[in-house]
Chains A and B, each alone.
Chain A
Amino acid sequence: MDKYYMGIDVGSVSTNIILMDEEKKVHYKKYFRTQGKPIEILKEGINNLVEEIGEVEILGVGATGSGRYLANIIVGADIVKNEITAHAVAGLNFNPHIRTIIEIGGQDSKIVIIRDGIVVDFAMNTVCAAGTGSFLDRQAARLGIDISDFGSLALKSKSPVRIAGRCAVFAESDMIHKQQLGHNQYDIAKGLCDALVRNYLSNVGKGKEILEPILFQGGVAANIGIKKAFEEALNMDVIVPDNYDVMGAIGAAILAQEEMKNKRKTNFRGFEILNMDYKVKGFECNGCSNKCEVVEIREKDKVLARYGDKCGKWSSLIGDNSIKLA
């Protein structure tokens, strides 16, 4: 039986699963839309994996993404790491000389500054999601363009329009206005790419020293219009790795491989998890005026996890209050 490390990245928009061998070569990768149902998508993803390559031996599991704790509960991970570290690890594995990583995902965008193979600085977007994948998604829908055609469409533009990029709401009304004036789709698409890049560089990239080689990863890296806009704005080359869309998951798998050097047995709960029935229940605790929104995940009668409470009243009932998220 083949032996692999599994990397899982449960993000707001996509859930990615990869299998990687001891040589860090990726043998299987799958990109799913999370659609607000992380548990089902995780099960579906693993089911898909079994169907495609059969049951394999899993040597270790790494989980990352905003749903990393949930992935850990359902699948059983050996290491749970934040996205920034995971992306940096994967980027450095792709090219050890990398000095800047641009990562644009569904709900957040990041910049990671690396010097001599270590992370020296990073930033994420603030509370606003302007300039992220979901913003592009929405505007593409409004223009009636499939998001996968968006980039190539933008490349056809001869004279891009200028669209306000600071705030998603303003950008949208600005774009509608430009549409009403009769600008063509190419120019508007390119205008949106430029706006997103401008917003990224002045918000996330503010004050950061961006040096080559630059890696561009995350779902939005599929968009060649954005890649082009970055190259124009920075006047530098931008590299998009082959596995740009699953770099977080790859990073998690690499971290799992590291972790397993000091461990004997993986926490992976096995492919049986496919046959298990998970029930998720949310309730508001009325114990005090904080009224925490508590989430409970059950597998048949067994409570796998509870979280969301500030005081630990519910999460500690199952004997593990180290897993806390909200």
Chain B
Amino acid sequence: MSIKVGIPRGMFYFDYYFLWKNFFNNLGVDVITSPKTNKDILNKGVELCVDEACLPIKIYHGHVDYLKDKVDYIFIPKMTSIHKKEYCCPKHIGLPDMIKNNIRNLPPLIDTEINLKKSHKNIKSSVFHIGKHFKKNSKTIAEAFQKAYRQYQEYIEMTTSKIIPIDINTKYKELSYITNVKKENYGRRIMVLGHSYNIYDYYINMDLISKLNKRRFDVVTAEMVKENRSREYAARLPKRMFWTHGQRIVGSAFALIEEKSISGIVYVSAFGCGLDSVLIDLIERKAKENRIPFTLLTLDEQTGEAGINTRVEAFIDMLEWRNRDEIDLSTHG
């Protein structure tokens, strides 16, 4: 029987799952993920985690708890920096330590630090550190990673060709790249912004993307804008954005705002997120300058959907109202 590594379905899962999974598989290791977030996982996470953490961190605890008796290792890398001269959120950096202190009877964690702040070459030593749990030969490990990285690049190519990334695949079948792809359906787009773990976990955001699709809007996310384009726009900020997720969110938003290819922006934020407090303000101002409607949905542990529904409905009404008026104006001269 081969060794099983558990990858909790939370936080950076939504960015790097394909990379990690393929890397482990290429090393001959099985990967097991926790199920999509559900009430049990949420409750368990809230129970285990410290009170002050944000909702996605609490949920992550629930996912780890689900996996702990089912696998030989749990993979929770310490994501310090994933880009030169940039950092991740402090909660990402502290994630493995938080987990170790909050959850009892864990299997061994693979909590290798990923720190590319000084140089992207640092990934090599991290990869060996992870790989040596399973294989001795460093060449085998390097090859397994290189192959996984190529597969990951293909995935990134797909997401930037206007296909909604990762988990959405199975939930939003019609948008999946596995089955037949309909890229643009309705001819009008809303940009859904926020950290990947808030917008691709449909339990946290109460299935926002389906709600927008039902109202006949296409959805575009930050991950669907090419990285070099996001970075180009983010670089125009007067002060350099030193969070990688922040770069992506602000840059992609600025790109689409200036291009005027979106009808509105819905920002999904977990209550108490420090990064978002900065990002939201930057984007809201830019959107206002360019007359693009913006709204914020704040998420916490509430399971009642009424609040979210009211805000989404009102936002769409407003877009349609504005749009109707613009059409009126043009016919009158």
Q: List residues of A whose CB falls within 8 A of some B CB.
A: 66, 81-85, 108, 116-124, 126-127, 207, 288-293, 310, 324-326
Partner of B298, one of A127, A324, A326: A127
23 pairs, A vs B, C-beta closer than 8 Å? A82-B309, A82-B317, A83-B314, A85-B317, A116-B325, A118-B321, A118-B322, A119-B317, A119-B318, A119-B322, A120-B293, A120-B322, A122-B295, A123-B296, A124-B307, A127-B302, A289-B35, A289-B38, A289-B39, A290-B38, A290-B39, A290-B203, A293-B303
Contact B271 A84, beta carbon cutoff 8 Å: no
B184 contacts A by Cβ under 8 Å = no
Among B271, B284, B309, B310, point to the contact of A127 (Cβ < 8 A).
B271
A121 touches B302 (CB 8 A): no
A117 CA to B325 CA, complexed, in Å = 9
Contact of B314 among A85, A288, A310 (CB under 8 A): A85
**What 6 A-B pairs have minimum CB-CB distances, sorted nearest first?**
A84-B314, A326-B305, A289-B40, A82-B313, A289-B38, A126-B298
- Residues of chain B in range 34-78 having any CB-CB distance to chain A below 8 Å: 35, 38-41
User: Are A124 and B321 in contact (CB-based, < 8 A)?
Assistant: no
Q: Which residues of B contact A123 (CB under 8 A)?
A: 295-296
CB-CB under 8 A from B321, the residues of chain A are 118-119
Query: Hey, what's the 0/1 contact readout for B200-224 against A, CB within 8 Å counting as 1?
Result: 0001000100000000000000000
Known: A82-B310, A118-B322, A326-B303. A291 touches B317 (CB 8 A): no
Interface centre among B294, B314, B325 (most CB of A within 10 A): B314
A82-B313, A84-B317, A122-B314 known; A325-B305 Cβ under 8 A: yes
Q: B residues within 8 A CB of A81?
A: 313, 317
Assess whether B306 is interfacial by the CB under 8 Å rule: yes
B188 lies within 8 A of chain A by Cβ: no
CA separation between A83 and B322, bound complex, in Å?
18
| Cβ–Cβ contact B309 & A325, under 8 A | yes
Q: Chain A's nearest CB lies how many Å from the CB of B148?
A: 31
* B300 interface hit (Cβ, 8 Å): yes
Chain A residues whose CB sits within 8 angstroms of the CB of B203 once the complex forms = 290
CA distance A117 to B41 in the complex (A): 46
A113's nearest neighbour on chain B, judged by CB, is B318
User: Is B238 part of the contact surface with A, judged by Cβ < 8 Å?
Assistant: no
Q: What is the minimal beta-carbon distance from B278 to any residue of chain A, in angstroms?
A: 14
Q: How far is the CB of A116 from chain B (nearest CB, A)?
A: 8
Instruction: Report the bound CA distance from A207 to B285 in whole Å.
Output: 9
Complex contact A120–B318 (CB within 8 A): yes
A180 to B322, CA, bound (A): 52
Which A residues are in CB contact (< 8 Å) with B39? 289-292
CA distance A291 to B41 in the complex (A): 11
Of the residues B38, B317, B325, contact of A288 by C-beta under 8 Å:
B38
Pick the contact of A82 from B296, B298, B314 — CB < 8 Å? B314
In angstroms, how far is the closest chain A Cβ from the Cβ of B34? 11
